[in-house]
Each structure stands twice: as structure tokens, then as C-alpha cells.
Structure 1
Amino acid sequence: MTSPDGHDLATRRRDARWVVRHLKFLADNYVDQALVMEALFRGLSQSEVAKLLGMSKKTVNTHARMPFMRNAALKDSRVDDLMRNDREFFAYVWGSDKAANSAVARCKQYDRERLLVESNRGV
């Protein structure tokens, strides 16, 4: 087996850092949003959720008011590979595929029940 050249090492480091940024994005957005929505469904106030999850009230409010959906992915040839691994990441965070799917389903329920009601108030 030959040792990798300097360019290969730099590429591997860049790829590893890109994967870490992607996972941090998932954690900071999708996981946090799902946790906020679940806590609100359980009857906690936004202030209580902020304290419980160690977030600012502004962040909790942002997650509570934003529909749960995937954002557009960066243009990169590897993005499809990363997105295939998202399911494994969510299963790890929630403990199983079933629990991860339930969390996403609760977010969609939150969107239907809470965000729809909120959007109809001003009409």
C-alpha cells in the first residue's frame, strides 16, 4: 500500500471538516427545532423551553415559528452521499430509526396544528 501524497491528505482533511460542518448544521437546525417543537407540544412555554434546552428565547421562537423542512443543500457533488447519512445521524440522536421518524412526524404535526392556526390569526 502506498502512502497518500500531500494533496490527498489535504483533501481528506477538507472532506472531514465539511462532514463535521454538515452534522453541526443538522444538530443546530433540525435536531434543535424538533426538540423545541416537542417541548412546546408538551405544554412548556417558550421561556421554559429556552431554559431547559440552554437556548436563547429568540432561538426558541425562531424554531417554533419556522416550518420543519429541509433547506436547500449546498452545490457539491458529495451532498447526496451526506444526505443519505442524515438518517443514520437522526437515528443515532433519537436512539432508533423509529424514534427519529416519530420526531419528524411530530414536527409535521406541529406545523399543521400550530403554524396553520398562527397564520390564520391575522386574516
Structure 2
Amino acid sequence: MSFSRRSILASGLALIATGCATRPSLMASHESWPELETVAVTAGREGLTVRFASRGCTVKADIVFRLDRVGGRTVLAFARRRLETCRFGDVGTVDLVFGYEELGLRRGERFVVANPSN
């Protein structure tokens, strides 16, 4: 069985999220993958809020995610479809919300976010 670079990369841990009926919690890991963009992830009752660096023009349509279920682990990674090229101002942040159902996650499912955290 051969593994793609992406599936091996996605197997890395940056954050561990524990899903539960009320509110999942995230725990940091000792591993990071600098190939992926650094993000801040907050687990809420209905989904994840992911904070990206932005000059003011990043929208949800600019972001893609990949969900892999390998070896009993569920790994989630976020990436940009294209680089942000606007020049509105200084680098700030933007918070984008992704629902658990939208991400393909089941209620209470444990998963890992492969992006490094800030």
C-alpha cells in the first residue's frame, strides 16, 4: 500500500481536539508541520473557528480542507486555494467558521488538526 505525501503529512499532529456532546476541547501536540499554514483553531458547540493571517480580503471560499481517516485517526488540514494578494493594510487576522457537519465530522468524534498552531 503506498501513501501520498499529503496523507503522510496529514498524519502529523499539531492540535488534538476532543469532540463531545457539549463543547470539544483542543490540546496542543509536540509535532508541527511547517508546510501547512499556521492557524489558531477554537472548537465550539457547532463547529470550528479557524483564524488565518489576512490583509483583509480572505474569505471562506479561499480556504479548502482535507479530512483523512487513517489507522483509526481522523486528521483535518486547512489550506488556501490561492495566495492572498490584496494590499488593504497591515497583516491582521480573519476568523472563519466551519461547521462539524460541513467538515465531515460526526458528533463527538475525536480528530486532529494538522496545521501548526499560533
TM-score above 0.5: no
For the superposition of Structure 1 and Structure 2, which TM-score range results when normalised by the shorter chain?
under 0.3
TM-score (norm 2): 0.25
Higher relative contact order (CA 8 A, sep 6+): 2
TM-score (norm 1): 0.25
Q: Which structure's CA Rg is the greater one? A: 1
